[in-house]
Structure 1
Amino acid sequence: MSLLIQWLMRIASALVILSVLAVLFVYYLASRSLPNYDKTLQTTAVVAPLEIVRDNANVPHIFGDNDQDVFFALGYAHAQDRLWQMIMLRRTVQGRLSEVLGTQTLETDTLMRRLDLASHARASVSSQDDATLIALRAYANGVNTRIDEINLNALGRGAPELFLFPQAIAPWVPADSIGIQKLMALQMTGHLEHEVLRARVSLALDDPKRLDDILPVAPGTGVAALPEYASLMPGLAPETAYTPSRHAALSPFPKYGMAGASNAWAAATTRSASGGTLLASDPHLGLSAPAIWYLARLELEAGGVIGGTIPGLPAVITGRSDNLGWGLTAAHADDQDLFIEELNPENAQEYRTPQGFKPFRTRKSIINIKDASPVTVTLRWTENGPVLPGSLYNIASVTPPGHVAALGWTALSDKDTSVSAIMGLMRARDIGQAVMASKAHVAPAMNLTLADNENIALKVIGHMPRRSENHQSKGRMPSLGWREENRWQGSFPFTTNPGFVAPVGGIVGNTNNKVIDRPFPLHMSYVWGDSQRIERWKRLMQARQVHTRDSFVEAQLDTVSYTARALLPLVGADLWFTGEAAPDGTRERQRQRALSLLSEWNGEMNEHLPEPLLFAAWMRALQDRLIRDQIGPLADTFTHVDPVFIERVFRDVDGASAWCDVRQSAPVETCADMARLALDDALVSIEERYGTQIESLRWGDAHQAVHNHQVLGSVPVLRFFVNIRQSTSGGDNTLQRGLTRGTGDRPFENVHAAGYRGVYDFADPDSSVFIISTGQSGHFLSRFYDDLAQLWRRGEYIPMSLDADLARAAAVGITRIQPPAQ
């Protein structure tokens, strides 16, 4: 017996030793890809010696004698820190995720092949200006030099993730960068889904008057009545609107309410305490680990530029130079249309056009799949654009039998010069030059906020489709593609894009709100990204005669919800301090406690308070009760509360209080009834997850910022190393925006926020500050993987200085790149 125990102990010890050795071996392999920032590299790809100085936050400051070498070094630095991220972005554009991830991403690959962004990117290379072509090629050489270095020196394949996916890394080419820019455009454009959703709701509602309640136009001048969707699409059955929809794995198509957002504003010298112009910028995208943003400083021939870059693109997307600062927000211009194309009953390979039936333009595309047989997809195009599958946003539910749907979108251009526009911004010396450079921007439509040493401005950039005055749906719902009046007639000239230069009030800004109200077809959009944050922003801007860098920082970090302040008195009007005293443990007593807390709350969505969770859960439950009776399972699509809808209902705008009555019940419910029932629903859901002591609730426990690794974030054990979680303040409608997930058992998680924040003061440019949401490195073993995350969570920043000595003073490494010795 003792001998058996001895052998069991030996075996157990051996297993433990082997496990430790295996872990150490895996750590060794993974750590091989940690970049060495302090070294000398020789390459024939550069003309003259240059340096990449990494400051104490690992922000690369690149110093070279010419722009070509500087962009080479940026490509090299991006590949050092974010190679895996760049490869995944490129694979997404090309529709090649399934080669490494298997069948789970086949649907996404099929969608991307149908859009054919990669082909459009390749065709657009020749349309770039000479300076941009030089930069794109130099950047690609920098990326490829790093890839070659990894292969020659066995540097752990460049990133730990690449050990799990052993495919060879293809060389980087200029088209890859243009493709990533187009991918960003896709993630920031939500009109396609909104068109489909509007059509589905139109089919589901008994009373067409209620359509503008649930999908309201942004406050302002109203819109002429539109026909019901069923009248536009004969033969389409209303019940098809109830077909459930889903989102493909790793799909870059934005979910409802999660297309691009952002804040940016500027103050003129007359409104600045320092006497210099001010600019604040915080673009909002989906949170991830690592963040999509990467901080960098480039010393170009035109001067130094510093700010946020996107790995894969050789440009500072938002940032500043010595003379100019720029920020971007999604303009929400209507640059997409869905066209319903009729198939030829005699030949399904043809579709109807104004001139009769024509054959589709087609091409076969083979999708290779890991551990599965390849799939061949037949891609089809009409004159209006690529044919999309019915599964995307449930397009099939609004497509009559014998028809297909094609997408018109400004980004589907073979002459897309948007990258040239970004490059031109970095070279611009003042607002005039910046606006001229942005004329080349195609997609997505953006609000460009500018500040130079003398003035401020806002200009909408990007192509805006020209539609006929007789367009059947005015671009708000899918339209018949063979009717001439529905087809695009080119684009409006750049001069028609709204612009505001040197405003009299000395303040300009945008929070994705409506920027102009013009009649169709000169309008920009009927769908805007914000009607709430702008109200709080206006109050903060008008509260001071002059502003400072710190007041702009304060506004960026503001967590007061205008929505809460506006809706609570309205929704709770008949509930405050009413009813008889109720004993502890009863539902009525719990409701009274919640109402008592909310009645004394100032609307601040602070992570340490219970009131934000009570408010968010109440409004979520209220909207669901109001709409589910009317539109059934389609209510699941409305994952976020629309404050304008709630206000219309409780103010009974155009009879909108009809939503409060449950049609299937005998009694006639009032809006006060629905508010009370919804509060009970909210309290039940909170108690099930967080307990009954509502005074002890913390918004931050529910509103955790979720920075997930795109692929490894769901892998057991590994997810604890690669994902980042943080308790955060803010909410869907605060300036410090933290858009909630809206679905699942954790609907209040923060999944879409300002991954970059920057504030620039041109009276003292080196006092400017910025931050990103994770860290510079994409390597989870690096100390720079999440070192900026806690600063970001606490609302802190790091200096944005173009002073070379400051960068060198606390450098964590200097990479010297030299041409070979003669």
Structure 2
Amino acid sequence: MKKLKKIVGVVLLLFVILALAVVGYGYFLKPKYDGEVVLNAIQKETTVYFDEYGIPHIYAQSQKDAMTTLGYVHAQDRLWQMELMRRIAPGRLSEIFGSVMLKNDKFFAGLGLNEDSEKAIAQLDKNSESYQLTLAYLEGVNQFLEDGPTPIEFQLVGVQKEKFTIKDVYNIFGYMAFSFAMAQKTDPLLTDIRDELGMEYLKDFGIDGSLAHTQLKSFKGKSEAYSKISKSVTSLLENSPIPPFIGSNSWVVGPQKTKCGKVLFANDPHIGFSQPATWYEAHIVTPDYEMYGYYLAGTPFPLLGHNREYAYGLTMFENDDMDLFLETNNPENENQYQTSEGFKNYQLSEKTIKVKDSTNVVLKIKKSHHGPLMNGLVEGLANDKPISMWWTYLQHKNQILDAVYALSHAKNLEHFHQSIELIAAPGLNIMYGDAKGNIAWITSGKLYKMPDNVNANFILDGSNGKDEQKEYYDFSENPYAINPDWKYVYSSNNQVEPMGDYLYPGYYLPEDRAKRIVQLLEPKNDWTKEDFMKMINDDQSSVAPSIVQNILKGIAQKSLSDTEKAAIAQLQKWNGNNGLNEIAPTIYNQFLYHYLQNTFEDELGKDRFAILLNTHIMKQMIAFQIANETSPWWDNKTTSDKTETRKDILTRSFQQTISHLNQKLGNQVSGWTWNKVHTVEHKHPLGEVAALRSYFNVGPFEINGSNEVINNLMFTFTEAGNHQVKAGPSTRRIIDFSDIENSVSILPTGQSGNPLSEHYKDQAELYNQGKFRKMKMNKKEIEGSSRKLVFKPR
């Protein structure tokens, strides 16, 4: 017995020692929020106060010291995210994840973002403040990289540490710009439809056939190779460890429409959800500068920000800034292609992609004067049908670093407006409000007009020299509204009115959110911050109820079952709300999937139908197509003995919806609540490993909202009807210029990307409940509620 007790005691002691070791190791890996750190590159002592949500408030004697400190604290919370972000554009994810990321690496390595970054850096003014402050930021990042603890992800995956450079900064901005583009997802699909089915089938998509006088020759047989571009690029972005930018809302109300007599500003950029979340918040204060900003991992200047003088934010413009060209090879030399001036040589190059635990892959790249060939970069394209990608971002001088610096250092509205001209791509709606009562909406991007006989919604002819002609507009002709008579500005990725007589082509989202924003803003003239807090969480659709009425009119309602009658009753009384306990959204969204499948899949096939579900154009056309009794899409091509009508398709879709929900949620319609099917989980790349999921991922949570409501929590329609949210507000920000120190915000999960930090997910419940926390700017309040970390110069 004594021997047994001794053995048990030894085992318990070993267990305690192991537990203490794990706790101690975990404590060592956590971000440091108090104490002292020697920071080599700063000139004077700098103090950082971390508030109760881990937001750093940096008080420094110079902007350079502040930026070095920012780099250090940013890295200690987000080094893993920084590492992933900088690897996407040059095609270096396979080095750490292996061949599972090889498709991503081939595409982005071949796209040419890394080379564009090198070119842009060579043209920089090395004495400029933007350049010098960027180097200071990188000094801080690299000191943490060298001296700080290695993130647990680095250890699990086996990442070798490398210093960050200014090229990494440009590559991160480049990937961000690419993720905005929609042409590569949409144009190949529309080209397939045109070539196989005819322009008649595109009327429901808003494509004006009169623009398509010059027809691109179809491939022999089915032109499925076109849509493989769409399929591949969609898959690459969805499977990227850093999600794409998608949409956004913003509105700014002038003093005449607020109770306080000052500007109110709201912004919620819509981005694919991930863990850690997209934005890192930081508040910088120096004798000559203050900014409360939102930063992408690995970048020195905020894309969203405010101070006591002005606030700015962004949404996606959704203009078309990318074209695909079908090149014609020289039949006697595959390394030459046809132009209007004769045959030219392709630009040939090779890149080596390192693959973890496998042999390196040599990527052969061809470029025409339009851009890189997609053949070899995406799967399924035949080499004798070369398709190149022309993209504004790669065709014009890249001044993105200076542009983002200028936005965060604007002297006044005029200076702010002028700085936007530096952004050739991506197209953005940049929103502005200030303490003087000014409000503005200004679009960025190098806008152009195509020839009248060229429709940029299709793959263009690369050989004739005509389809590539572009008439560039002066920046003064970019759409904008500054202090308009109606006293507010807004943006929700909707089609904008042209400054002149040309409607800028693009991949705009439907009117739903824009219409709802105007419905709420227009009649009210006493807006408060609290009103904005409620409005930014609004989940009522302005369009869905009218779509429902068209659906109900089209359904054959004879011999309905009791369950079907109960479902119709729910739809009839629905006002478009998407709250957790609502029943109608469950029925409506399940119906939309069956309607879309029954309408489009027979013509498109499974793969191209899946592509359609991931495009903006699908969202755009639902309201119009579902009301069009003469649409050619209604007839099911697989039933040769019958010509289906709108009523046939809508009735069948409704019956399938009820049958599905009966099986999934039971036969009581009262139990078909939205919370049972609409959920969100914020996924970490390592959370794909089942054993690590609960440690790295945040959620899942039931959540309200839906597609194309202001609280835009987005999902892709699926037959299973598990509406798993993929994207949504990456932050909700409200700036009140009558009480700037009590402006509010929220992040989807937390400030830190370190799973051992208490700030890894401490905002998730607040976010899901539509609540906010203060963006503190009052120094006394910050000092009284924060931990203090002092950085001392060497």
TM-score, length-scaled by structure 2: 0.92
Instruction: Between 79-88 and 773-782, report the one with greater CA deviation.
Output: 773-782
1:202 alignment partner in structure 2: 194
In structure 2, do the counterparts of structure 1 residues 37 and 538 end up closer, same or farther at CA, with 3 Å as the change threshold? same
Letter matched to residue 138 of structure 2:
A
Q: Secondary structure at the match of 2:354?
A: strand
Q: Which residue among 430, 433, 440 is the counterpart of 2:415?
A: 433
Distance 1:463 1:787 in 2: 41
Distance 2:551 2:340 in 1: 51
1:232 alignment partner in structure 2: 216
2:236 alignment partner in structure 1: 251
Q: Secondary structure at the match of 1:362?
A: strand
2:490 alignment partner in structure 1: 509
1:212 alignment partner in structure 2: 203
The alpha carbon displacement at 1:385 in A equals 1.0
What are the within-5 Å matches in structure 2 for residues 566-605 of structure 1? Answer: 566-575=546-555, 578-580=557-559, 588-605=561-578
The alpha carbon displacement at 1:612 in A equals 1.0
Residue 138 of structure 2 corresponds to residue 131 of structure 1? no
Letter matched to residue 635 of structure 1:
F
The alpha carbon displacement at 1:491 in A equals 4.0
Letter matched to residue 641 of structure 2:
A
Distance 1:643 1:445 in 2: 20
In structure 2, do the counterparts of structure 1 residues 506 and 631 end up closer, same or farther at CA, with 3 Å as the change threshold? same
What are the within-5 Å matches in structure 2 for residues 631-670 of structure 1? Answer: 631-633=604-606, 634-639=608-613, 642=618, 644-652=620-628, 655-656=630-631, 659=634, 664-670=639-645
Q: CA contact under 8 A between 2:477 and 2:499: conserved in structure 1?
A: no
Q: CA contact under 8 A between 2:268 and 2:732: conserved in structure 1?
A: yes
Q: Which residue among 94, 110, 113 is the counterpart of 2:109?
A: 113
Cα distance per residue 1:118-143 (max 9 Å; x no partner): 22112212444511101211111010
The alpha carbon displacement at 1:57 in A equals 0.9
Cα distance per residue 1:603-630 (max 9 Å; x no partner): 1011222221111101121121111233
In structure 2, do the counterparts of structure 1 residues 46 and 765 end up closer, same or farther at CA, with 3 Å as the change threshold? same
In structure 2, do the counterparts of structure 1 residues 368 and 738 end up closer, same or farther at CA, with 3 Å as the change threshold? same
Cα distance per residue 1:277-328 (max 9 Å; x no partner): 1110000000011101111112255432113211111112112111111110
Residue 590 of structure 2 corresponds to residue 617 of structure 1? yes
Distance 1:539 1:338 in 2: 38
1:70 alignment partner in structure 2: 66
The alpha carbon displacement at 1:703 in A equals 1.2
Distance 1:44 1:481 in 2: 54
Letter matched to residue 222 of structure 2:
P
Distance 1:678 1:26 in 2: 55
Instruction: Between 25-34 and 619-628, report the one with greater CA deviation.
Output: 25-34
Q: CA contact under 8 A between 2:583 and 2:670: conserved in structure 1?
A: yes
Q: CA contact under 8 A between 2:554 and 2:646: conserved in structure 1?
A: no
The alpha carbon displacement at 1:332 in A equals 0.8
1:607 alignment partner in structure 2: 580
Q: CA contact under 8 A between 2:29 and 2:756: conserved in structure 1?
A: no
The alpha carbon displacement at 1:756 in A equals 0.8
Q: Secondary structure at the match of 1:547?
A: coil
Q: Secondary structure at the match of 1:774?
A: coil
Residue 700 of structure 2 corresponds to residue 719 of structure 1? no
In structure 2, do the counterparts of structure 1 residues 343 and 540 end up closer, same or farther at CA, with 3 Å as the change threshold? same
Q: CA contact under 8 A between 2:31 and 2:754: conserved in structure 1?
A: no
Distance 1:250 1:85 in 2: 21
Q: Which residue among 537, 541, 546 is the counterpart of 1:561?
A: 541
The alpha carbon displacement at 1:450 in A equals 0.8
Cα distance per residue 1:720-753 (max 9 Å; x no partner): 1111222111111100001113347464111110
Q: Which residue among 440, 457, 467 is the counterpart of 1:476?
A: 457
Distance 1:411 1:26 in 2: 48
Q: Secondary structure at the match of 1:524?
A: coil
- Which runs of no fewer than 5 residues in structure 1 stay unpaired? 583-587
What are the within-5 Å matches in structure 2 for residues 535-546 of structure 1? Answer: 535-546=515-526
Cα distance per residue 1:557-598 (max 9 Å; x no partner): 10001232121111102559x435x6xxxxx22211211222
In structure 2, do the counterparts of structure 1 residues 691 and 350 end up closer, same or farther at CA, with 3 Å as the change threshold? same
Distance 2:634 2:345 in 1: 47
1:420 alignment partner in structure 2: 402
In structure 2, do the counterparts of structure 1 residues 714 and 209 end up closer, same or farther at CA, with 3 Å as the change threshold? same
Q: CA contact under 8 A between 1:381 and 1:387: conserved in structure 2?
A: yes
Distance 2:542 2:244 in 1: 20
Q: CA contact under 8 A between 1:556 and 1:735: conserved in structure 2?
A: yes
The alpha carbon displacement at 1:335 in A equals 0.6
Q: Which residue among 327, 330, 337 is the counterpart of 2:316?
A: 330
In structure 2, do the counterparts of structure 1 residues 482 and 660 end up closer, same or farther at CA, with 3 Å as the change threshold? closer
Letter matched to residue 614 of structure 1:
I
Distance 2:318 2:374 in 1: 22
Aligned residue pairs, count = 783
Q: CA contact under 8 A between 1:98 and 1:368: conserved in structure 2?
A: yes
Cα distance per residue 1:662-707 (max 9 Å; x no partner): 6625344332332221112122332333333331122122111121
Letter matched to residue 101 of structure 1:
F
Q: CA contact under 8 A between 2:191 and 2:226: conserved in structure 1?
A: no
1:774 alignment partner in structure 2: 749
Distance 1:106 1:10 in 2: 55
1:143 alignment partner in structure 2: 141
Distance 2:226 2:330 in 1: 28
Distance 1:682 1:18 in 2: 58
Q: Secondary structure at the match of 1:224?
A: helix
Q: CA contact under 8 A between 2:440 and 2:483: conserved in structure 1?
A: yes
Distance 1:403 1:632 in 2: 22
Q: Secondary structure at the match of 2:690?
A: coil
The alpha carbon displacement at 1:88 in A equals 0.6
Cα distance per residue 1:396-442 (max 9 Å; x no partner): 3xx7x723111111222573112211111111133211111111112
The alpha carbon displacement at 1:69 in A equals 1.2
Q: Secondary structure at the match of 1:281?
A: strand
2:389 alignment partner in structure 1: 407
Residue 284 of structure 2 corresponds to residue 298 of structure 1? yes
Q: CA contact under 8 A between 2:37 and 2:790: conserved in structure 1?
A: yes
Q: Which residue among 303, 324, 347 is the counterpart of 1:361?
A: 347
Q: CA contact under 8 A between 1:648 and 1:657: conserved in structure 2?
A: no
Q: CA contact under 8 A between 2:247 and 2:315: conserved in structure 1?
A: yes
Letter matched to residue 539 of structure 1:
Q
In structure 2, do the counterparts of structure 1 residues 691 and 447 end up closer, same or farther at CA, with 3 Å as the change threshold? same
Distance 2:110 2:612 in 1: 27
The alpha carbon displacement at 1:645 in A equals 3.0
Q: Which residue among 173, 177, 190 is the counterpart of 2:182?
A: 190
Distance 1:529 1:168 in 2: 42
Cα distance per residue 1:485-508 (max 9 Å; x no partner): 122547432112111111100011
TM-score, length-scaled by structure 1: 0.89
The alpha carbon displacement at 1:647 in A equals 3.1
Q: CA contact under 8 A between 1:186 and 1:252: conserved in structure 2?
A: no
Q: Secondary structure at the match of 1:379?
A: strand
Letter matched to residue 735 of structure 1:
I
Q: CA contact under 8 A between 1:441 and 1:462: conserved in structure 2?
A: yes
Distance 2:675 2:516 in 1: 22
Distance 1:658 1:251 in 2: 29
Letter matched to residue 322 of structure 1:
R
Letter matched to residue 423 of structure 1:
Y
Distance 2:190 2:31 in 1: 49
The alpha carbon displacement at 1:252 in A equals 3.4
The alpha carbon displacement at 1:459 in A equals 0.7
